[in-house]
Chains A and B, each alone.
Chain A
Amino acid sequence: MANLSFTLPVPSTDKEGGRRLYSLISFLRFPIFDPDDFLWGILDLDGLMDVLWGILDIEQPDTQTITKIVVPSVELIYSYAEFWQSLLDCSKFHTHSRLCWEYPQQTMLGTDDVVENIALTTPPAASSDIASATGGITQVLIKDDFATSSVQYYCDGCSTVIFLSHIMCVGLVLFFSERPQHVILITVGGTKNGTLQLDLPRTFPGHPWLDTLRGHASLHRVLVGYSFKDSHVGYCQGLNCVSAMLLLMMKIGEDAFWMLAVLLENVLVNDCYTPNLSGCYVEQRVFQDMLAKKYPRIAAHLEDMEFDVSLVATEWFLCLFSKSLPSETTMRVWDVLSYEGAMVLFHVVLAIFRAQLYSI
């Protein structure tokens, strides 16, 4: 067990931003020794820099913005890459690394979302830890997340949110919201053996695009992005199927990400994917009652066999039928779902049971 502590340098506001950007790019394209371990990294680093260049093109930031935001951000990416490269020699070590965040607060722009999130979820126990880790930033959330085996740092009033793996960092992901100048999320993506990572090749295996490295990377970005957006939900199995379908439809990762957010936050029953799956239980019980009312014969029959509908319905409700219905049918269900709301799911499950009404 190697322990690696890593401190980010406080960026000096020098005028060499341009040079630093250049050296970063050359640095990020260092050769990859072990493609299995680091392909994630290179894919994501490419994406990351593309996005950064894209933003610089669109925003045309003034010199002040460059020194205050772009340079520190790039510096951060640079530092991560360095950290990441330091793992090259010890590809199997387990580290409880803590990246110490020492950025002056004023270099960061805030978003309402992030601040709200922090206020709701900061565990009191973590506060002493926070003070030492952040060096003066007021509100930070450090959360041990089982789903991704990671430590997440949320910094209040800063545009950068770090998502740390404590097993192994395998990638860098940068996310931007629809207001790119406001949210920059830098992710050291997940753990090599986290549930999320393991589920990538297990999501529609054999699919010509999803089951490729590029497909996995896209899906990874969407899921990690969402686990940041709603850290209470994090990653829940089932979201991988939903996100994969959304990716196939939307084609672009960011669109799929926002569709996923809308689905979970506005369309579906609340708390479906939270750590206790409470919303999912509610759905099961509600459905049982509906079945008893609508088709008492089926309900009585199932009761005779002591068959709990949740045995089959859990997957239907969590994957929104994407694993069980033919994809065309799933798409049709999703159309109606987004138009009419979560009630549609119950209608579909009822219809599936009804289809067997005369065979009992």
Chain B
Amino acid sequence: MTFYINEEQMEDYLFKIVLIGDSAVGKSNLLARFARDEFYSNSKSTIGVEFQTQKIDIEGKEIKAQIWDTAGQERFRAVTSAYYRGAVGALLVYDISRRQTFDSIGRWLNELHTHSDMNVVTILVGNKSDLKDAREVSTAEGKVLAEAQGLFFMETSALDSSNVSAAFQTVVKEIYNILSRKVILVQEHKKQDTSWMENGKTIVLQGETNHEADSRTWRAKCCSS
């Protein structure tokens, strides 16, 4: 029995989540705030793709979110869309102080649906909610769009860190719930008892990369930067 408990603690969830949206809406800063609790009023523009892994605790389970931060400029879409493969979650970010970034949400959704699984858990994020005086997109508008598209919705501010981890956690939790439901379905289907959860199987939700590879890719990235 002890063996099983140890095995269960070793159980490893790895969710791949992508951050997408127009240039300079604050994707990198959302990630910096979430993963390192840092904020840079002028961070360098992201060229290509960067990623970071962050541990999240959901219902006592340690979940690793591998968050991919992408370049926002139109011409990088072909580069970045290659990295959507295997993503189970997405944060679709716009800047509440710039309407054009909200207007292009539709194009980003198309992009996401073309290059990834239709079931990817998506949250619409209106960032820079601290810029109250410069607001161009109202909260209601964001909500309406999110409801129409069946997305979660949240307004965040990487600057004062309001709602940042809530946004990430919403996505991760929903993925986890879907996964748990699937597990239950599988269990019912196979008429198996609850030992399924205890047999120590590693569940990797990312297709290509396993956990070990992930830690190594991360190291490779560190050396290169």
Residues of A within 8 A of B (CB): 146-147, 149, 193, 195, 198-199, 201-206, 211, 236-238, 240-241, 274-277, 280, 304-308, 310-312, 314-315, 318-319, 323-324, 352, 355-356
Contacts and interface: CB of A to CB of B under 8 A. Distances in A.
Contacts of B177: none
A193 B169 CA distance: 31
A280 B51 CA distance: 20
A276 B45 contact: no
Given A195-B24, A356-B223, A314 B75 contact: no
Most-contacted residue by chain A among B74, B75, B76, B224 (CB, 10 A): B75
A277 B75 contact: yes
A237 B45 contact: yes
Given A211-B42, A277-B76, A193 B47 contact: no
Given A237-B23, A306-B208, A314 B74 contact: no
A312 B218 CA distance: 11
Contact of B225 (A304, A308, A324): A324
B213 A306 contact: yes
A178 B223 CA distance: 43
Interface string B48-59: 110100000000
Contacts of A312: 220-221, 224
**Nearest 7 pairs of A and B residues by beta carbon:** A314-B48, A205-B42, A198-B24, A305-B213, A315-B47, A201-B42, A202-B45
With most chain B CB atoms within 10 A of its CB, the pick from A149, A198, A304, A308 is A198
Given A147-B74, A318-B47, A195 B42 contact: no
B40 to A, nearest CB: 7
Contact of B45 (A146, A203, A305): A203
Interface in B12-55: 23-24, 40-45, 47-49, 51
A314 B213 CA distance: 21
A225 B75 CA distance: 20
A146 to B, nearest CB: 5
Contact of A276 (B43, B49, B73, B75): B75
Contact of B42 (A202, A315, A318): A202
Contact of B40 (A198, A205, A304): A205
Nearest to A277: B75
Contacts of B225: 324
A199 B49 contact: no
A147 B23 CA distance: 10
A277 B49 CA distance: 15
A319 B208 contact: no
10 contacts: A146-B74, A238-B47, A240-B45, A277-B79, A306-B209, A311-B48, A312-B221, A314-B48, A315-B48, A352-B224
Given A211-B42, A237-B23, A307 B220 contact: yes
A23 B37 CA distance: 54
B71 interface: yes
B220 A356 contact: yes
Most chain B beta carbons < 10 A, residue from A149, A240, A274, A277: A277
Given A203-B45, A318-B48, A305 B24 contact: no
Contacts of A211: 42
Contacts of A304: 213
A201 B209 CA distance: 36
Given A199-B23, A238-B47, A314-B49, 12 more contacts: A147-B74, A193-B98, A203-B44, A236-B75, A237-B71, A237-B73, A275-B74, A277-B76, A277-B78, A312-B220, A315-B48, A352-B224
Nearest to A197: B24
B216 A147 contact: no
B217 interface: yes
Contact of B44 (A147, A204, A305, A356): A204
Contacts of B41: 205
Interface in B167-225: 208-209, 213, 216-217, 220-221, 223-225
B100 interface: yes
A308 B85 CA distance: 13
Contact of A237 (B42, B76, B216): B76
Residue among B47, B71, B216 with most chain A CB within 10 A: B47
A323 B208 CA distance: 29
A276 to B, nearest CB: 6
B217 A236 contact: no
Contacts of A195: 23-24, 72-73
Contact of A147 (B49, B73, B217, B224): B73
B156 to A, nearest CB: 19
B45 to A, nearest CB: 5
